[in-house]
Amino acid sequence: MAVSVINALNLIRENTNIVDTEIIKIEDASNRISAQKIIAIYPLPRFDNSAMDGYAVLSNDSGEDVRVIGKILAGDDQDILIEDKTAIKIMTGARVPSNTTAIVPQEDIEILNDNTIRLPQNIKELQHIKYIGEDVALNDLIINIHDEINFGIISLLASQGITDIEVYRKPKIAVFASGEELRPHFEEIEAHQIYNSNSPSLIARVKELGCDVEFIGSARDNLESLKDHVQRSLDFDLIITSGGVSVGEADFTKEAFESFDMEYIFNGIIIKPGKPTVFGKINNALVLNLPGNPFASQIIFEMFGTSIIQNLKGDKNTYHKMIVAKINDDLKNKKGRITLIPGNFDGEHFTPSIKRGPGMVSVLSACDSFIVLDENVSILKKDTRVDVIQIKNKRFIEKNKDFLTYAK
């Protein structure tokens, strides 16, 4: 029996187990999900240090002529105390003398002779000193379980002397298609055949989401071939198929999976397009049977398949992120089922795609987002507020725009 969209997403979260873990080098951990909680064992900075190349001084010597009594370079381990009317030349990052009350940048002083300088007026107390722990305090949280690791986190890990980190391994995904008419893109086709566009698309998208993926092949339209493809996929975390889930004379996909005692988690979703989508489980392998129509397959994967993968990965972010926009024009819709509408988001407006037939291949190649219409929506008027779910978000745009934020 088909389930509602909300119920389908809830069932996915309830029935998707996180993969196991592995230990990897921090340099290889970008975009991976942490499986351990790490706290700071060192404060940052580890010692009070200079934020500038300049002179360590006593701030009450403002405007005075002072004698330079030494030099401290970054990495030096010495503590030369400053006395009245004296200064110590210091480099950026060097440990400041313990009684320093200010750093004066070298461009702000006047050199009088080889060992005497004149300090500027109005030196601010504590200026240009970076104090121990002001960046990261001892026991601050560096990363938590289920957080995604990025270059900034890797910088923090390295600053704590951490070499390895435990992460959830990449989910292993098997992809195969069914249909006598489907041929791989690297073969010649006959007039009655078509190229398989669904599998390469799914493989590419799954890789973008941080998974390891293997193409099992295109099954023939008979039970034996489909069962062979299922058998070769059972050691994977998730099996994704496209085609063969509708009611048809040559559609044996469901029968093939059922021969392995597949447990149906849901059998159809009350949605348009993609109603015949199936989600199930064979032992430890999850199964997602997508429609064969290219656009239906892609958009259903964006709505539901991505949620499966986020849960498998151990990512804490498993809900679709939405951005509020206004619809760019009137949109008519045949109500009765929740409907997925592809389109483009320009930062303010969402423009629905004119092309959105379930069997079209080109739809999502030209779209970067979609909206989800309630089953009771028959029309959206221009400038109506909509919640946009982005598909492609590289955070760069084609046109140059002013990126400055101005005071009001």
Residue 359 is encoded by which pair of tokens? 């069997």
Q: Tell me what pLDDT residue 405 has.
A: 84
Q: Report the pLDDT value the prediction gives residue 248, as an integer from 0 to 100.
A: 54
Q: Is 200 helix (H, G, I), strand (E, B) or coil?
A: helix
Say what the pLDDT of residue 249 is: 41
Separation between Cα atoms, residue 105 and residue 87, nearest integer Å? 12
Domains of the chain: 5-18+170-313 (3.40.980.10), 31-41+135-168 (3.90.105), 49-130 (2.170.190.11), 322-390 (2.40.340.10)
Distance CA 390, CA 408 (A): 30
Establish how many alpha carbons lie within 13 A of residue 87's alpha carbon, considering only the half-sphere containing its beta carbon: 32
Q: What is the 3-state secondary structure (H, E, C) of 268-302?
A: CECEECCCCCEEEEECCEEEEEECCCHHHHHHHHH
Question: H-helix or E-strand containing 307?
Answer: helix 306-313
The per-residue pLDDT for 247 is 55
Mean pLDDT over each residue of the chain, to the nearest integer:
93
pLDDT at 395: 67
- In angstroms, the CA 235 to CA 174 distance is 9
- 88 close to 97: Cβ distance less than 8 angstroms: yes
pLDDT score recorded for residue 273: 96
pLDDT below 50 — which residues of the chain? 249-250
Provide DSSP, 47-79: S-EESSSEEEE-GGGTT-EEEEEEEE-TT----
pLDDT at 251: 63
**pLDDT attached to residue 80:** 87
pLDDT of residue 250: 46
Q: Is the dihedral of CA 388, 392, 394, 396 positive or negative?
A: negative
Contact present, 166 and 147 (Cβ < 8 Å): no
